[in-house]
Structure 1
Amino acid sequence: MSSSVVYRSDYKAPDYRIESVNLVFDLDPQTSTVFNTMKVSPLGAQPIELVLDADGLELVSIYENGVQLPQKRYSLTDKSLTVHGIDKPVTLTIVNKFHPLANTLLSGIYISNGNFMSQCESQGFRRITYFPDHPDILTHFHVEIRADKEKYPVLLSNGNLVRRDELENGRHLAVWDDPSLKPCYLFALVAGNFVKREEKIKLANGKDCLLQVWVEPQNKDRTAHTLESIKKAIRWDEQRWGLEYDLERFMLVATDDFNFGAMENKGLNIFNTRYVLASPQIATDLDYFNIESVVGHEYFHNWTGDRVTLRDWFQLTLKEGLTVFRDQEFSRDMLGKAAAIKRIMDVRFLRSRQFPEDAGPMAHPVRPESYREINNFYTTTVYEKGAEIYRMLQTLLGREKFKEGLRLYLERNDGRAATCEDFINAMAQASERDLGQFFRWYGQAGTPRVTVKSFWDPEAHTYTLVASQSTPETPGQTDKKPFLIPLAVGLLDPSGKDIPLQLEDETEPAGTTRVLELRDAENEWTFVNIDAKPIPSLLRDFSAPVILNYPYCRSELAFLARHDSDPFNRWDAMNRLMLEALNDMVDAIETGARPSVDQDLLAAFEQMLTDERLAPAFRAISLTLPDEQLIGERRTLIDPEAIRSAREELRSVIGRRYSSVLLKIAENYQTPGEYSPDAESAGKRALKNLAFSYLLAGGNPKALLALRSQFEQANNLTDQLSALTSIVNSASPAKLDMLVDAARKWNGVPVLINKWLTVQASAIAQPGEVPVLSRVRELMASGAFNIANPNSVYALILAFCNNAPEFHRPDGSGYRFWLEMIQKLCKVNAFIAARIARVMDNWRRYTPERARQMHDALKLADSLPNLPTGVREVLDKALGKQAGE
């Protein structure tokens, strides 16, 4: 594959327009045929060279205005078909073939469980037919699908259904027309044996809209939650943003074989089954929540991604970051009183996944300047950090001005391919603010460090905050300019109450939370009428994606954990207490000393554990220890074994010390009766299961008996899976029987078998047990695993690679396994191979011997022949190589 670098600065607007495209598909699993008729119009006076992208296609014939094109008028390679000398509007008809069954890359049109599926983002359409596969080529699509009626009774594409008809030899056809202009990456086709759950609703504009969820027959009873989620998303978009759906129907199709979570194809979303199928027996509380969130995300793309799309792939965050922000707001609103939990979950993920990306060799701006493989930039930076950019704008401008700016952006660019500048310009006009400095968030990589100092003057009754910012160097960027950073702050008096905040140049207080704007390398603000020394509550609701440095002592963190009125900062104070205590424990373990547990942490933990005024969901998330990756990010060098030892020791101490309280919680927060995934019930289950996990870590025999009973008798997967996971991660010999029992119960249901695989791949190996890798290899050889299925790879291989102490065992076995998987996956699915390759991004952060072995494995992988471009790019950046070396 080509490894040429694509630069944003090289963008050139097309010198032609595709007025319309008519596609006729004659589907066959082995070899399908496409009749592609395009109306092409040059935009200038000079003849154009029309370059049509291709990948793995067979050209049959090409015609211009109905006349076969002579060979001298076109050039054909494996990657393109170029038509020479087009000097006036013409109609090109191209006939080509492609091979769905052989398509293991799952890009283009492929076969999943015997059904035809498509995935065209980012560059899959070129695997279907010859076409300019760029997001700035928008056109009208008219699609006719022909297939065997018995095997493929359902034929779907984008837009509105025009007609169905019967053909000879047991075949039939369906014709779809999409009235919207769209780029080819939003094209979709589905053909197969599906059943539907449907409902007709009335939109806010009074029009009827047919909602359909299509799944394989055995899954029909597992789609009610998905249909309800679509309805919620539609209503929320109408009410929050005034945005309405524009087609006669909205369709969603689920498939097991899908590289992504879901795809927003205009009017025909295609989903991975793990984000569609839900029933108490196959989906956890978190699954129900994630389904609603992802359904919302893909639906919201109808405006932020479909109606307004991208000029080029460098603008990816313009649709993905913006739409993640929108789905985060949707999920918060759907949670009601538990809304704070969503913000905590999002920031926890950002810190543990995106912050390390910003600090590693794959660090890139939210809008990258270059790439070799665009699929490598579907990253947490583009998505999650991108979402934070839009959230910061809302924080700075206010909800109403942000809404005005979004509406202005959509009105200006409806039916167009836009840029990040288009969005910022609309925001600037709506708010009448200069956002030039803010725009640096799009172009500068790295996580800013914000250091805050405070000064209280008891005589003048003033309190001054001084904030400074700096951003570390990242690949290709050394001299970073100051960002515009919204710093939301509050001040707590000695009793824990919020102080009304009045800056020295103001005549009266203006609320108890103020958004300060850090614009320079250093800024300061002085508050007046501060009669007692306060404790600052900084970066409330995580108002900017930065690393905050403030010299809190542990008693101050414990105070904030008890009193802060900002739910996020209350959680964050407890989380910081845990991280500092765990860091001390890791230090002790690395020096051979016995770790001790910080008493401030234990006191704060007990206070929150017993505070019945707090929602169970908030207590559960606040009392969950930071994950091992986040603990490692605070270390100069990462020793995964020491980190796990410290974390398990703290879990054990908590389980023993608070056993009576934890047993009471486990008893009091049962959820008898019919299962419901509502926020309150889910919160109770979360707190109960957290209590059980601590009790089991402390060796409590009652917990083991209770969890075995819960696994056998629970009426929902949340409780079953939690019980199984807790016991598998204990020393109990019961784990083997329970795993066998789970396999028997869950056999034949892929979403459950994948969870079963992950439980084992993520397990903690107890003393005397074989390494987890041994079990992973056994599972790979079983019928439960399929290396051609992305879900299966994520569930087993990626889960093991993220099991840090097992993957990073000192003998290097995990790294040899990684190399073996890269070799295999490169031959099956290059997209998934690149994702697995990224496990080694931050090899330099590990202890010297581990770093040496990881480097050796990277070098061996880098020497493999015929590496796909995406894998090559990841390996080169990990090794610090420049493009072309």
Structure 2
Amino acid sequence: MSEFTAKYLADYLPSDFTIDTVNLTVELDDHHTRVTNTLAVKKENLEQSQLILDGEHLKLVSAKLNGEQLTSDAFEQTEHQLTIFNVPDEFTLELVTEIDPANNTALEGLYKSGGAFCTQCEAEGFRRITYYLDRPDVMAIFTTKVIADKATYPYLLANGNPVERGELANGKHFVTWHDPFRKPCYLFALVAGDFDLLKDEFVTQSGRSVALEIFVDRGNKHKAVHAMDSLKRSMAWDEQVFGLEYDLDIYMIVAVDFFNMGAMENKGLNVFNSKYVLADKDSATDTDFFNIEAVIAHEYFHNWTGNRVTCRDWFQLSLKEGLTVFRDQQFSADMHSSAVTRIQNVKLLRAQQFAEDAGPMSHPIRPEKVMEMNNFYTLTVYEKGSEVIRMLHTLLGQQGFRQGMDLYFKRFDGMAVTCDDFVDAMADANGKDLSLFKRWYSQSGTPELTVTQQFDAELNKFKLTIVQHTPPSEAQPEKRHLHIPINIELIDPVTQQVTNQLLELTDVQQTWQFDASNQPIVALLGDFSAPVKTHFEQSVEELLSIIELGDNSFCIWDAGQKIMAQEVTFLLANQNAKPSESITRMMAAVMKADYDDEFKALMLTLPSFEELVSGLNKVNPQQLLDAVEQLKLFIAQQFEENLIGLYQTSEQLLQKTDGNTGDHTNDSAEGKQVAARSLANTCLSYLSMLPKYHHIIEQQFTQAKEMTSKLGALQSAVRHAPLEVGDKILSQFEQTWLEDTLVMDKWFSLQANMQVDTIFERLEQLMARDDFALTNPNRARSLIGAFAMQNARYFHDAQGKGYQFLAEQIIAMDKINPQVASRLITPLIQFKAFDEHHSELMVKALELIAAQPELSRDITEKLNAALLQH
């Protein structure tokens, strides 16, 4: 494999130069876009005589310093840098470069998405547009003039407010944009294309009118209404909860089909993956509507937590991402069921982030070493990062957290700062010592809590002892103790009284004593107050008491998940045994409980394959899947009458509506429909285990008035129904939606999840279709990613066919788009979680990739980390 140089947090130094203003003129052309970049530069380190600028895939046309053309001996150009010698203390630099957007398949910098030009500059994409100090702590005022053919590109967009527009010769036109706020170059954006435009406005709390514009492909304007409504809800919420008002005259969103990420918060001009903008009642699921609202909110909230206050360096990425994920999760909880929203967040964390923490790419939320920054847009930085912010919210309370946020913005508005700066603002605003808490930023791994209890009936005293331990990792063999907030409920089984308490674990081991007339039942980690694993021996009776008597929705759900997980573990160890009475008692309690439909659906859902793997050691994936299927079949048989009753009740409710309206807020009529669909699909997933109910799969698909129910039927079909049923309705689905790219992405994912021995032939046939292309990240993820991350049965094929298939696709993808390839490799590098046979096959697939010449930095970093652990 190629050797690449790592960067270290400890080596950070301020830039020797600052840039005051940037004036860009971008003359767009598919293969010969010309960028004229005029910089006002000032030397901060007077001893530095050389200006070293970052640049990749650039053709330098000319360079002028203070208006004078630079001669060849005045600068040096390499593959990644432009060095200018003997620069004065202050100067103007004009650089003209030429780039080829149409052949930029990496989708970084300026590239073509369909017929439109667009940019993606985070983390280090701006250097693919022009030479620059491409680092987040260099902040400048940008003015951008965009020039293009008017007929082909009627809309020319960039950051800030439009200040000038006009006609040019040869059918061209221009628009000039000025952004009055200093920003790092990663927030630069440019879009040019022919779109449908949805317009609206928002009046801020101070009375300013902000123009809202969403640009989508022609014919999709009606699908942007939900995104617009979500944007306005986000803007109102941020004013109400954090007092934060939008600062420009216009806020724009552009939806494109080719995008490596979900969306990008460029100042005033957000570029979105179209899957997080476009939705209507026919083509989008309830999950799509929820995700669009959440991602719209996330990118809007970045205007303050990421743009107005940004990162000093990329090691501080969680400063903006963890904080903004927390903010979008709080927003979603306020818009919908707070309990369901929180549980879904935790499920993602346990299924995927815990695995990342235990794998070769384990890193703190503030990494200390980076080879390729794109590899650190991870669940650890985002999701665990948000959990660290949530812990601060728990420790300080809502008012204290708001005080800390206010001080943070007062101190650092317009600056590039660090995670320490954020925590210090929280500590200073509340007079609380958070020095121990800062360890969360520098220590990797998932802490584990071992809990024991003791009750003295004579003294009426109850003691709870908690010991914390974080398993060692190669980079950090010795872990230190952390500051961990632990919300608990003490449930008196006699009086049924519930007492809530927040415990602060600040040492390796601590004991708390409580007055108690009866031995209480402990419900740990209310609302999942810390991202930890727990070891706490509790009987089925105790867990059932939490389900029946507890107040905290997360603890109730978690108790059910523990019973289910224990049952799967029992069946895994006793392969010929029958499920125990425990699962029957638990399911019976859930069936009779008065839960709302969406929460009941979660209570009935077994832990995912990934969640179960994270709680086991060196597991055989096929045997684990067998145990899960055995338990699911048992539940379907034992509770057939309950499941069909719940299903029919939900279906009757759904027949009274025309389907999605887009208003999914918790108390709306549509919110109740969302809950009913969730419960119906959960019941169908169980019932489809029984051949006598296979007919209702096709019935639901045919009768459904919206996509959620259709997709639920299809998911049950590809998992449990005979092949002819699945193929029949998949074919009908394809014929209906062949021209809708986003819906066909769902179709490809369904195909990737087929439980058939011919899956690998099917995958090859799908990849040979005209509408499949590795150059489209969404399409690649919908098939290859869905297979590797969702079809555990065949990905973990006993002969290693699944691993080899993924390795071959990663090799091909790495030559096209290293970012996407690097993300697809994640399931392979987590081989340590599985038994020796499967682990060796996964390593063999990794070695196949490693043997390829000229691998990208993205892939090389992950391969190095993984193979070093073998």
Q: Which category of TM-score, normalised to the shorter sequence, fits these structures?
A: over 0.9
Which residue matches 1:311?
312
Which residue matches 1:550?
536
Find the residue that maps to 2:213 and give its secondary structure: strand
- Structure 1 stretch displaced more, 601-610 or 2-11: 601-610
Q: Is the 8 A contact 1:161 1:176 kept in 2?
A: yes
Find the residue that maps to 1:513 and give its secondary structure: strand
Report the Cα offset of residue 661 of structure 1: 1.6
1:872 to 839, 860, 863: 860
Trace 1:285-684 onto structure 2 (pairs within 5 A).
285-335=286-336, 338-495=337-494, 497-499=496-498, 512-528=499-515, 530-589=516-575, 594-611=576-593, 613-670=594-651, 671=654, 672-676=656-660, 677=664, 678-684=670-676
1:764 to 727, 745, 755: 755
Amino acid aligned to 1:730: H
* CA distance in 1 between partners of 2:103 and 2:760 (Å): 31
Report the Cα offset of residue 402 of structure 1: 0.9
Which residue matches 2:689?
697
Structure 2 residue 803 is the aligned partner of structure 1 residue 815: yes
Find the residue that maps to 2:142 and give its secondary structure: strand
Find the residue that maps to 1:828 and give its secondary structure: coil
- Structure 1 stretch displaced more, 386-395 or 836-845: 836-845
* CA distance in 2 between partners of 1:452 and 1:753 (Å): 48
Q: Is the 8 A contact 2:55 2:80 kept in 1?
A: yes
Kindly provide the CA deviation profile for residues 211-241 of structure 1, in whole angstroms up to 9, marking residues without a partner as x.
1111011211101000000001000000000
Q: Is the 8 A contact 1:562 1:604 kept in 2?
A: no
* CA distance in 2 between partners of 1:476 and 1:692 (Å): 46
* CA distance in 2 between partners of 1:394 and 1:48 (Å): 47
Report the Cα offset of residue 47 of structure 1: 4.6
Report the Cα offset of residue 845 of structure 1: 2.4
Q: Is the 8 A contact 2:688 2:697 kept in 1?
A: no
Report the Cα offset of residue 881 of structure 1: 6.9
Trace 1:219-258 onto structure 2 (pairs within 5 A).
219-258=220-259
* CA distance in 1 between partners of 2:391 and 2:48 (Å): 47
Report the Cα offset of residue 651 of structure 1: 1.7
Find the residue that maps to 1:758 and give its secondary structure: helix
Amino acid aligned to 1:608: V
Kindly provide the CA deviation profile for residues 820-846 of structure 1, in whole angstroms up to 9, marking residues without a partner as x.
112201111011111122221221222
Structure 2 residue 832 is the aligned partner of structure 1 residue 844: yes
Which residue matches 1:508?
none
Trace 1:675-824 onto structure 2 (pairs within 5 A).
675-676=659-660, 677=664, 678-699=670-691, 701=692, 703-732=693-722, 733-765=724-756, 770-802=757-789, 803-824=791-812
Amino acid aligned to 1:359: A
* CA distance in 1 between partners of 2:569 and 2:504 (Å): 32
Find the residue that maps to 2:169 and give its secondary structure: coil
> Normalized against structure 2, the TM-score is what?
0.97
The count of aligned residue pairs is: 856
Kindly provide the CA deviation profile for residues 551-582 of structure 1, in whole angstroms up to 9, marking residues without a partner as x.
11122112212221000000000011111101
Amino acid aligned to 1:694: Y
* CA distance in 2 between partners of 1:842 and 1:881 (Å): 10
* CA distance in 2 between partners of 1:465 and 1:845 (Å): 32
Report the Cα offset of residue 480 of structure 1: 1.2
- Structure 1 stretch displaced more, 448-457 or 708-717: 708-717
* CA distance in 2 between partners of 1:147 and 1:209 (Å): 27
Amino acid aligned to 2:607: P
- Structure 1 stretch displaced more, 723-732 or 187-196: 723-732
Q: Is the 8 A contact 1:771 1:806 kept in 2?
A: no
Amino acid aligned to 2:344: M
* CA distance in 2 between partners of 1:635 and 1:46 (Å): 57
Report the Cα offset of residue 381 of structure 1: 0.5
Kindly provide the CA deviation profile for residues 103-137 of structure 1, in whole angstroms up to 9, marking residues without a partner as x.
00000011111110100000100000111110000
* CA distance in 2 between partners of 1:441 and 1:496 (Å): 39
* CA distance in 2 between partners of 1:370 and 1:160 (Å): 38
Q: Is the 8 A contact 1:300 1:326 kept in 2?
A: yes
* CA distance in 2 between partners of 1:620 and 1:858 (Å): 38
Kindly provide the CA deviation profile for residues 476-503 of structure 1, in whole angstroms up to 9, marking residues without a partner as x.
101111100101111111147334xxxx
Amino acid aligned to 1:175: T
Which residue matches 1:111?
112
Q: Is the 8 A contact 1:46 1:87 kept in 2?
A: no
Cα 1:495–1:780, aligned 2, differ >3 Å: closer, same or farther? farther
Kindly provide the CA deviation profile for residues 225-264 of structure 1, in whole angstroms up to 9, marking residues without a partner as x.
0000000100000000001100001111101100001111
Find the residue that maps to 1:398 and give its secondary structure: helix
Amino acid aligned to 1:250: Y
Give 5+ residue unaligned stretches, structure 1. Answer: 500-511
Find the residue that maps to 2:233 and give its secondary structure: helix
* CA distance in 1 between partners of 2:230 and 2:49 (Å): 47
Amino acid aligned to 2:529: S
* CA distance in 1 between partners of 2:838 and 2:495 (Å): 46
* CA distance in 2 between partners of 1:150 and 1:651 (Å): 58
* CA distance in 1 between partners of 2:107 and 2:495 (Å): 55
Report the Cα offset of residue 2 of structure 1: 6.5
Q: Is the 8 A contact 1:586 1:595 kept in 2?
A: no
Give 5+ residue unaligned stretches, structure 2. Answer: 665-669
* CA distance in 1 between partners of 2:267 and 2:46 (Å): 34
Amino acid aligned to 1:660: E
Q: Is the 8 A contact 2:166 2:174 kept in 1?
A: yes
* CA distance in 1 between partners of 2:46 and 2:781 (Å): 52
Structure 2 residue 209 is the aligned partner of structure 1 residue 208: yes
Q: Is the 8 A contact 1:492 1:535 kept in 2?
A: yes
Find the residue that maps to 2:735 and give its secondary structure: helix
Amino acid aligned to 2:737: W
* CA distance in 2 between partners of 1:221 and 1:249 (Å): 21
Kindly provide the CA deviation profile for residues 797-840 of structure 1, in whole angstroms up to 9, marking residues without a partner as x.
01111222201111111122122112201111011111122221
Q: Is the 8 A contact 1:15 1:48 kept in 2?
A: no
Which residue matches 1:153?
154
2:841 to 834, 847, 853: 853
Structure 2 residue 127 is the aligned partner of structure 1 residue 126: yes
Report the Cα offset of residue 44 of structure 1: 4.0
Q: Is the 8 A contact 2:452 2:465 kept in 1?
A: yes
Q: Is the 8 A contact 1:773 1:800 kept in 2?
A: no
Amino acid aligned to 1:513: N
Report the Cα offset of residue 26 of structure 1: 0.5
Kindly provide the CA deviation profile for residues 180-224 of structure 1, in whole angstroms up to 9, marking residues without a partner as x.
100000000000011111112210111010111110112111010
* CA distance in 2 between partners of 1:873 and 1:486 (Å): 34
- Structure 1 stretch displaced more, 729-738 or 19-28: 729-738
Q: Is the 8 A contact 1:152 1:193 kept in 2?
A: yes
* CA distance in 2 between partners of 1:131 and 1:34 (Å): 12
Q: Is the 8 A contact 1:352 1:630 kept in 2?
A: yes
Cα 1:60–1:496, aligned 2, differ >3 Å: closer, same or farther? farther
Kindly provide the CA deviation profile for residues 339-368 of structure 1, in whole angstroms up to 9, marking residues without a partner as x.
100110001110010111111111101101
